[in-house]
Structure 1
């Protein structure tokens, strides 16, 4: 997949000691093992089979891998995520929901005692409910409302979504109209301000709408496997780290 999505070297002036393909694999392995750069390289000393598989004759330094994460654009990880979706048997029933990831791994006790304020990243996932495949993600550092996030995700994934499931947080007529324009069926609960809204909610297909919980399952799986926080200190690297986790999740599902 890295060979299909990424050039062999970052530029013609590269020293060519390591390829970007090798960097992609090592960065994925770091997130998969939920470890640090230095700990990963210490473990790679005892992994000759993996080094042979990717043609790695000598180990890079931790700073080399850290710089590689900053060098590989978010668009690259987006392409890799799209390629990983093709490995899974999706059916077009897609659930959307958001979750929070901490931007520091400091303990809650420490942050409370030190009176620190650590903002969370808001991560919105599009999850195909049949294969628990992550189709797309949106990450923001602000308190952007859910209804403002959905349109961009719908437009980017028109061909992959047949039925869109969402909770009351996505109750917006503009989203329903946009989904209709893109030939999608939207199953989004209404906020109950009148008896008519209650009647509309009662008419929802309960079995189909119940698949919305698969999104929460995937969110929980990401946090349990790869950690509920991001290790990077810069926001653009944090975004890429989360996209990396989604890509690896799809690979795990396919295996």
Structure 2
């Protein structure tokens, strides 16, 4: 299992640095400018990290002035400010960009500037896909078991809806590369397409491993022929007979399956365990969209906790790694002296970045063809 940080201050520092790379400084030029959007994002990450509610994290910040000083907060935000920021900052498109920044930070070379470096796509050797469910209430398993179906019997199974999160994880470092949040129960076989659409653009997997829940010929075609990713999915979905599958790629899985590489699929199970161990198996949100945003925020916070130990790889810096995440105020301005409201243009894209752009174009083409 990857090492994760248990320090709220260090995780908040990572969140503040990622937020400054992704988010504009303020939501509007005529806003009150009490808090910057990266500061509010860091508070939301801290709330998820401490498993707190909005009022609880506000009380925690009031009692912890050192943490407010680290985030350069002039005052503690009201809990309704955080609730409105959560709705605005945790959209799917921004979640993808934040995941992309965590991947870029982990693979960043020592001589790369944090302020001006473009998103350079990284070749991921092996990635794994899977999904997991989150409970929607806080009822204990003991209570569910003791709730009798009839006198003298235990209720061992409950049939109800739950929140479902699909992830694509890097098998080398347990970073989450993409998410797809929805509601369950529902099968996984039709979830691979939106899951690949939710991946960060700077991660290019060479192989993708998934269990039999994703087994279908269209999924193999999507990965191998459109995205140029080697798929490894056992052809055992449903009730397989003694006959070999008729599809080209499912036939290949049945006759020349790589069991040794497939053994790395358990890495994504480790990621699921880490998510539930750190943040719990139940969600606190009550509405569909807020549940989706909460699951996506857990994925981003998970990556930030892993990134805390990335400083071990950057000893070429003369200053600690985390100090580069606290960008000075002058670093947020362009050479003309104007305030930076958006990310700087990225003209110098590498060949790998072009490959990532091609994946997005192929995915769009596949979506059009499937309609």
With the length of structure 2 as denominator, give the TM-score of the two structures. 0.63
Residue range with higher mean Cα deviation, 74-83 or 125-134: 74-83
Match in the other structure for 1:67: 84
Tell me, yes or no, if structure 1 residue 76 matches structure 2 residue 94: yes
Equivalent of residue 37 in structure 2, options 20, 41, 44? 20
Distance 1:43 1:203 in 2: 56
1:29–1:94 Cα change, 3 Å: same
The 8 Å contact of residues 93 and 163 in structure 1, kept in 2 or not, is answered as yes
Unaligned runs of 5+ in 2: 1-17, 108-122, 150-157, 246-250, 309-371
Distance 2:141 2:217 in 1: 39
1:12–1:189 Cα change, 3 Å: same
Match in the other structure for 1:141: 183
Equivalent of residue 187 in structure 1, options 232, 237, 245? 232
The equivalences for 1:1-255 within 5 A come to: 1-72=18-89, 73-89=91-107, 91-108=124-141, 113=147, 119-155=161-197, 157=199, 160-181=204-225, 182-191=227-236, 192-194=240-242, 196=244, 200-201=253-254, 203-255=256-308
Q: CA deviation at 1:79?
A: 1.2
Q: CA deviation at 1:174?
A: 0.8
RMSD: 2.5
Distance 2:194 2:286 in 1: 26
Q: Which has the larger radius of gyration?
A: 2
Q: CA deviation at 1:106?
A: 3.4
Q: CA deviation at 1:184?
A: 1.0
The 8 Å contact of residues 178 and 196 in structure 2, kept in 1 or not, is answered as no
Distance 1:127 1:121 in 2: 19
Aligned residue for 1:70, secondary structure, equals helix
Find runs of 4+ consecutive structure 1 residues off by over 6 angstroms.
114-117
With the length of structure 1 as denominator, give the TM-score of the two structures. 0.89
The 8 Å contact of residues 180 and 198 in structure 2, kept in 1 or not, is answered as no
Unaligned runs of 5+ in 1: none
> Number of residue pairs matched?
255
Residue range with higher mean Cα deviation, 195-204 or 141-150: 195-204
